[in-house]
Amino acid sequence: MGMTVVQKILARAAGRASVEVGDVVEPAVDLAMSHENAALVINQFFEVYKGAGLEPRVWDPSRIAIIFDHRVPAESSKTANNQKKVREFVAQQGIAKFRDIRGDEGGICHQVLPESGWVRPGSVVVGTDSHTTTHGALGAFGFGIGATEMASVWALGVALNVEVPATIQVLVNGRLAGFVSPKDLVLHLIGRLTAQGANFKAIEYHGDTIRLMSTSGRLVLCNMAVEAGATSGIVPADSETLRYLREETGVRDEIEVVAPDPDAVYGQVVEVDASSLEPQVACPHAVDNVKPVTAVAGTRIDQVVIGSCTNGRLEDLAVAARILRGKKVARGVRVLVFPASWRVYRDAMNGGHLAALSDAGALIMNPGCGCCLGIHQGALGDGEVALSSTNRNFKGRMGNPKAEVYLCSPAVAAASALTGVITDPR
Amino acid sequence: MAKVVLVLGDDVSTDDIYPGRFMATVLPSETPQYAFADHTAFNARLKASQVPPGSVIVAGENFGCGSSREQAASTLQGHELVVVARSFARIFLQNAINLGLKVVVAPGVEAAEGDELEVAAAAVVNHTRGKTFAMTPLPRARQAIIDAGGLIAYTRSLIIRAR
């Protein structure tokens, strides 16, 4: 029986010829990523070794990545102390894939890993962050785990007792219309699948729309797979993946492409006609509460957020700059721009996008996650409404349970920044 | 037998269980104070030690969806609460099992606050309503970790065995 991409990756990582849905395997981990919560992982790692009579050493420091992105620079002494503890551990264990707080490298983990060439097709990537699904855009199996589970990975080099997930095949054909983006496609998909429709399953993306989509767009689709509950989202590696790795990350060594078998068995097939899609908006307080932008146009907003691990890449900032260039953000609306990494920041600066956004009245923030989850800048007041290109709108998400968050594409966010109400960019 | 102290609907997120603004607090010894912080009355009862260990939260489908933050499990574990839900989100369920938080999947469970609930071997019994609800076993991949009393003990046994 044929295997899906995820089955093939797990079979190889577990040293088996094949695996079936429901099999329990212990895949070797190629890359283990954490951010500030490495402070908790370190705590649990030392707990594992307590009384074991062994010196706590990570299994392979070259396969561990730690990227500071959630609270940069530190907003409190508590965070500063956590970051200090992580720095000491990094030095002690010899972890080279570490990105500290500086303006010439680093950024948000889900951009730093791909753009550094650290994520390869066919690899197993785990991260103490639910959006680790993002890395499936490069044909890897990426999934989120908790801090204690990461401590176990650091000790053993394998993910323990992973159940091989069933796969939903999402088949997307047709050309996206102007100002309709991969974000609109994935919001539409989450609305159809619901917030739990893919729980304990993988989503494998196929079709002409995906084949012609840039890696930047594929990262959006895989980033948000977890909002349908998916263990992982994945785009099987193809010529675009190779182009991205060679041209944009400078990878020179051999890249192996893992493709699904033609007779792979999918638990469910979902077809999407991309050409009929309108811009989409996820309404408060659930990511699967998705409506076409026309249904909520005119809703008053107080804050616009453009950026994050979902939509803070160069093409996102470019489309926002194109809409805002030479114009002014509406009075009474705060516009915050979070590039996904310092490389993106620099490219957007050199391309003139940041100047256009700044001239229009937007605040250019440093790359980081903080605003999206209400932990570092950009918190909302009581009764305020945010329109954001981030990935979650749960109650309390942007720092205040008495506020509301709508999710959208960078184009909808930028068009709405000009009017002060949710606006169709077309 | 234990009392139901909180009843929630579907898709309870980890932001709801442990709001992001408290995420700089990471240690299991410190997270319990922020459990359901935005459910102010319930949080106040927890902090005043008015909720006995073993008390039950009953929820709908997809409990713990969203973030991988382990604080969402440790904050409930710190109060020794039991969560009975119609279903759980994957990462939360794994975190709960890894930390030893008692979680029960009962797809048809119905309860109101104040009901007396019993988690028996294969079913959840609501004694107040006189109803019994079937339990779904936890993922079998996790049984060894449950049996070991959590992931830290389980992984410790593996590194000692490999020595």
A4-33, pLDDT tens digit by residue? 999 999 999 999 999 999 999 999 999 999
Find the angle CA(B23)-CA(A394)-CA(B47) to the nearest 5 degrees: 50
What is the model's pLDDT at position B139? Answer: 81
Rounded average pLDDT over B53-62: 98
Burial of B50 (0-12, 13-18, 19+ CB in 10 A): exposed
Query: What letters, b where the CB count within 10 A reaches 16 and e where it falls short, cover B119-138?
Result: beeeebbbeeeeebbebeeb
Query: Distances from the Cα of A173 to the Cαs of A19, A41, A244, B148, in angstroms?
Result: 30, 42, 22, 48
Q: Is the interface score ipTM higher than 0.90? A: yes
Residue A289 in contact with partner chain B when CB distance is under 8 A: no
Domains and CATH numbers, chain A: 5-272 (3.30.499.10), 280-419 (3.30.499.10)
Contacts of A220 (CB under 8 A, 6+ apart): A181, A182, A183, A186, A310, A311
Angstrom distance (rounded) from CA A124 to CA A359: 43
Q: What is the pLDDT of residue B142?
A: 84
Query: Which amino acid would we find at residue A240?
Result: E
**A387 forms bridges with which residues in the sheet?**
A304, A406
Whether the CB of B146 is below 8 Å from some CB of chain A: the reply is no
Contact across the interface for B151 and A155, Cβ inside 8 Å: no
Contacts of B38 in chain A (CB under 8 A): 395-396, 401
Closest residue by Cα to residue A400 from A416, A421, A378:
A378
Q: pLDDT by residue (tens digit) across A368-409?
A: 999 999 999 999 999 999 999 999 999 999 999 999 999 999
Model confidence pLDDT, tens digit, residues A207-263: 999 999 999 999 999 999 999 999 999 999 999 999 999 999 999 999 999 999 999
DSSP string, A4-16: -HHHHHHHHHTT-
Per CB-CB distance under 8 Å, the chain A contacts of B163 are 53-54
Domain ranges of chain B: 2-136
Per-residue pLDDT at A132 exceeds 90: yes
Q: Does domain B2-136 have CATH number 3.20.19.10?
A: yes
The answer, yes or no, to whether residue B140 has pLDDT greater than 80, is: no
Give the percent of chain B with pLDDT over 70. Answer: 100
Tokens of A322: 């194109």
Tens of pLDDT, residue by residue over A78-122, are: 999 999 999 999 999 999 999 999 999 999 999 999 999 999 999
Which two structure tokens, joined as six digits, stand for A105? Answer: 């490298």
Query: Which pLDDT score is estimated for A78?
Result: 95
R_g of chain B computed on alpha carbons: 16
User: How far apart (Å, rounded) are the C-alpha atoms in residues A348 and A181?
Assistant: 19
Query: What does the pLDDT read at residue B141?
Result: 77
Helix (H) or strand (E) holding A348: helix A342-350
How far is it, in rounded angstroms, from Cα A109 to Cα A35? 7
In chain B, which among 66-105 make CB contacts under 8 A with chain A?
A: 66-70, 73, 87, 89-91, 94-95, 98-99
C-alpha to C-alpha distances, B111 to A173, B12, B57, B107, nearest whole angstrom: 45, 16, 10, 12
Interface test with B, best of A70, A75, A164, A373 (most B CBs within 10 A): A373
Q: Between chains, do A43 and B26 touch, taking CB under 8 Å as contact?
A: yes
pTM of the model: 0.97
pLDDT tens digits along B78-111: 999 999 999 999 999 999 999 999 999 999 999 9
